[in-house]
Structure 1
């Protein structure tokens, strides 16, 4: 028997696999992974983490209770069709698919399958994910508790109503990419002002880490911490005035909102497809 199965072998699946192994939740050989057709990717995960790879989805379901859905959201319909006959009410599906509701997955299975919807982020790789969980209609409180325990191995966990998960997706699920985008810009700036890349990276990373730790350990609002750095006519004020002139705050707000909208669009498109197929 395996402890955990993964359908999908992309970056998020790898992040969770790494977190589970590094968190000593299971042995490497107790994780089994499959995907649609990319056998080379399965071989990479097997070589890197020592997990079991299989193309036999019946074998995966027959020998695993907890199964992570980690395929691309657009592929969920096809994926469920290939495993529907093997799934039972004794399985627990943990879906990490942006914009795919628990109701949609339950409908695709056409069974009373317990589903927990999770929105982690790729910082799970280093066990620092910010994850939100929502409970499907057939999932028990015990199922939810089991999911909380799993995701606490790879970071912090918040339990939310499912209608909040699109917001979480746009904010925290996609959030690391926004931060990396900002770091890219800071590195370009460092190059233009004459700093070596390795030195700049070290300074930027430590600056981000220190600021994040200040936010985590202080009871002060971000605006207060920001103002404490500024002095009238100083360098920080000069730099922030450029951000204000470019309306960077508005751009970030729009960025998050658009990601949330896209999550809702993905779910609406899938639900419309399911209605049309009935």
Structure 2
């Protein structure tokens, strides 16, 4: 059963200490979303990374959050956190989690942003039973228009599920799914922005090749994609129906659609999403092997 949400908050967020282990763009997007929505105060948020002090100073200055720069501060931040976001790179995840597990306690909630890492692998790495939220946000979260797939371990309470959902609603929509479906979410919306960018690249290149200036081709493409997305959302109509409405028999749009069909456009999209989901599973298996080594 999948549910899609776009509103609602959990008031208790404001009383909790939040720690981000990793300070990349997705962690920053969540920090900005939480602060912009007024869900918490900068003093309740801590961040750390492996060794990039310049990045930590940058984020501390920009948002007023607490940046941990030495091992002692990092340990204190992890011990005192109510929610810990695992936002490190997948290749670094297994070793990092093994190092921090002795600092954790069952009263905390773990939220993973690590692509491919399953709840079972996380439980193995942590070594103690803890409530775990596995997520798959996409890059549009950085501008508050993201989609995040969310799955929960069995011991995440209803209140904590609502809490996690509210946090990710701060950067867009959330969809709650059973964990096996999270790989499909990865293929569809996690990697999805790249498919649209790729299509836009091709449209811009085509416009320029056919005589438009590159700037004109770019602006026309951006507005076309933006308008199409808003049209689907504003009307609530199925994209297929909207396509039919603008496709006159024997017209120029029909000619273009027929050419896309000749190149098996729909099959290509299905194959791309399927392959992305498969690759997410493969990445998870690689992380699991590292966890056991």
TM over 0.5: yes
The answer to which structure, 1 or 2, has the higher relative contact order (CA under 8 A, 6+ apart) is 2
Q: CA deviation at 1:10?
A: 1.6
Residue aligned with 2:82, SS: strand
Aligned with 1:155 (options 162, 168, 172) = 172
Moved over 4 A (4+): none
Trace 1:1-278 onto structure 2 (pairs within 5 A).
Answer: 3-55=17-69, 56-274=73-291, 276-277=292-293
Q: CA deviation at 1:81?
A: 1.8
Q: CA deviation at 1:2?
A: 6.7
Q: CA deviation at 1:197?
A: 3.8
Distance 2:17 2:202 in 1: 42
Residue aligned with 1:32, SS: strand
Distance 1:155 1:146 in 2: 15
* Unpaired runs of at least 5, structure 2: 1-14
Q: CA deviation at 1:69?
A: 0.9
Q: CA deviation at 1:177?
A: 1.4
CA offsets, 1:93-122, max 9 Å, x none? 111111111121111111111111111111
* Unpaired runs of at least 5, structure 1: none
Distance 2:231 2:148 in 1: 21
Residue aligned with 1:177, SS: helix
Residue aligned with 1:215, SS: helix
Q: 1:24 to 1:195 in 2, by over 3 A?
A: farther
Q: How many residues align?
A: 276
Distance 2:237 2:59 in 1: 43
Distance 1:254 1:96 in 2: 25
Residue aligned with 2:17, SS: strand
- What is the TM-score when the length of structure 2 is the normalising length? 0.87
After superposition, the CA RMSD in angstroms is 1.9
